[in-house]
Structure 1
């Protein structure tokens, strides 16, 4: 598996307040804003942060890795008996996604952007 980016996704009560805090005090900037969702990034090697409104996971946190070759990784994880809690699927916003859950309930998400049609 080749990991090319990392993201921490957090479920919070007030997405805007958390975004302001991370921007003001830790130098993050908003790169994507939608209803109930903000993605923040920095120009250095820090992981991106996604803020989600409401309940998204039992733990309130998701560690997400952008990878290459996600279909092969899905097959490998199934062969190894990993707890794949969301099977590989194409999301409406254009990424392939799957989720694993570790023995302590931490959700690990693997994603790979799908190329636009015609590429």
Structure 2
């Protein structure tokens, strides 16, 4: 098997709102969009994020009413404190403060308008090797 790209698709109530959030605050651009669907990308991220409206007929019946809960979109960044300050200045609510884990991960979280958790991460904690 050869994997040529990576992406995640999340079902939400309002794909337009989630798309706008990642565009405005995280520098993504819409790659493809249609009624009930938006696919976003960043050239430097190595992954695509898609949002699909709950109930969309193209989804399998057993998935149509699911909501992207329990999923964390995690993005590794170079300047965690700088990103935290930037998002706070932009009025984004920080839903998990900056924390440091014993395995070297440092992270904070925000939520998009549909409740999707976005976590910014670095591996610069005291035990990172």
- With the length of structure 2 as denominator, give the TM-score of the two structures: 0.44
- The structure carrying a bigger strand percent of its residues is 1
Higher-Rg member (1/2): 2
* RCO higher in structure (CA 8 A, sep ≥6): 1
- With the length of structure 1 as denominator, give the TM-score of the two structures: 0.48
